[in-house]
Amino acid sequence: MTAEERPIRIDIGICTYRRPELAETLTSLFEIAVPAGAELRLIVADNDVGPSARGLVDGLRERSPFPIRYVHCPKSNISIARNACLAESDADYLAFIDDDETAEPQWLVGLVSTAKRTGADAVLGPVRAVYGTQSADWMRKGDFHSTMPVWVGGQIRTGYTCNTLLHMRSPVVAGRRFALSLGQSGGEDTHFFTALTDVGGRIEFASDAMVEELVPEKRASFSWLAKRRFRSGQTHGRILASKNSGLSRLRQTGLACLKLGYCLALTAATIPSPVARIRYALRAALHAGAVSGTLGIREIRQYGAAEAL
């Protein structure tokens, strides 16, 4: 069989930790369109101390049109679960989706078609937040939980794992792993993709590769959003600190302080507008985290036994 005749092999990795919503995630994947000439397999990496997701996965096997590989990696460290998916995959592509998301029918087709068309090392798709009635008006209007890439100078310099496709044959992807030191604080995906682009890797965006995420009540608050932004800033600051030393590192800290002050001033100036005020306040939390990161302060813990992934 020639390379042109060989089926494209695609694995879909789902890292999970005590989340019953995994059933909805898997069910949505059973219904997705399969890219032309592709063979699919699902990899479920269970990060709980005990194999708590095994029964759920086994109960859905008969309904699945695709093989399912269950992997137990009991360390309550999201990087270990992500790395388990990387280690288990011998496919041409590996997609990641979170265990509280559902895929649109054309999700994988969108990711793969963009990867083939552009030759990118990684492709990101959008995550659309679905708000319940418990969410505040400012939250729904501002859509603060949806996820999109950030372009800098027309390029995507980093990424996320809640909706992504990795080209596993790419030399900048092969052998790359998520940092274990960030597996309980978060930011392991930012670190992974930043390192990828730092060595010349290219990330593209597939606007039609949509997944949805229901925002639970525990995340529908300003405090949760601020904590999330602060941690993201810490990771960014840590990356800056690793690339700069001495006076250059101090300049990065000073710049982050200036941005923090600017956003705090705009937060006060936009008090009459809830959406704008919250947006600037969250930007302030991001820059406060960046200050913390450039100073070498350890990231706050977000994942593990205290909170589901």
Note whether 181 and 257 are same-domain residues: no
Handedness of CA 238, 244, 247, 248 (dihedral sign): negative
The torsion defined by the Cα of 153, 157, 163 and 169, in degrees rounded to 10, comes to 120
Residue ranges for the chain with pLDDT beneath 70? 1-5, 299-309
Please state the separation of Cα 144 from the chain's center in Å: 15
What distance in Å separates the CA atoms of residue 209 and residue 126, rounded to the nearest whole number? 7
Asked if 92 and 169 count as a contact pair (C-beta separation under 8 A), the reply is: yes
Torsion angle of alpha carbons 95, 185, 53, 103, nearest 10°? -30
Question: Residue 307: inside a domain, yes or no?
Answer: no
Pick from 166, 275, 282, 277: which is nearest to 232 by CA?
282
Looking at residue 113, what is its pLDDT?
98
In this structure, is residue 306 part of a structural domain?
A: no
Count of H-run helices and E-run strands, the chain: 9, 12
pLDDT in tens, 22-72: 999 999 999 999 999 999 999 999 999 999 999 999 999 999 999 999 999
Boundary-marking domain end, from 190, 218, 246: 218
User: Is residue 308 included in any domain, yes or no?
Assistant: no
Quick one: 108 and 39 in the same domain? yes
The CATH number for 132's domain is 3.90.550.10
Domain end call among 218, 246, 273: 218
Indicate the residue among 164, 184, 218 that finishes a domain.
Answer: 218
Tell me whether residue 305 is in a domain.
Answer: no
* Angle at 92 (CA atoms; ends 88, 96), nearest 5 degrees: 60
Tokens of 14: 């789902």
Residues 159 and 18 both lie in one domain: yes
Domain coverage including residue 231: 222-294
Q: Which residues of 279-293 are buried (b: 16+ CB within 10 A; e: fewer)?
A: bbbbbbbbbbbbbbb
| Residue 156 CA neighbour count, 13 Å, CB half | 22
Residue 80 within any structural domain of the chain: yes
Structure-block tokens of residue 308: 């589901």
pLDDT at 306: 41
Burial 30-67 (b: 16+ CB within 10 A, else e): eebeebeebbbbbbbbbbbeeebbeebbeebeeebebe
Q: Are residues 89 and 230 in the same domain?
A: no
Q: Is residue 190 located within the same domain as residue 231? A: no
Tokens of 49: 């101390």
The alpha carbon of residue 91 and the mean position of all alpha carbons in its chain are separated, in whole angstroms, by 20
pTM for the complete prediction?
Answer: 0.91
**Quick one: pLDDT at residue 302?**
53
Residues with Cβ within 8 Å of 179's Cβ and at least 6 positions away in sequence, in order, are 79, 188, 191, 192
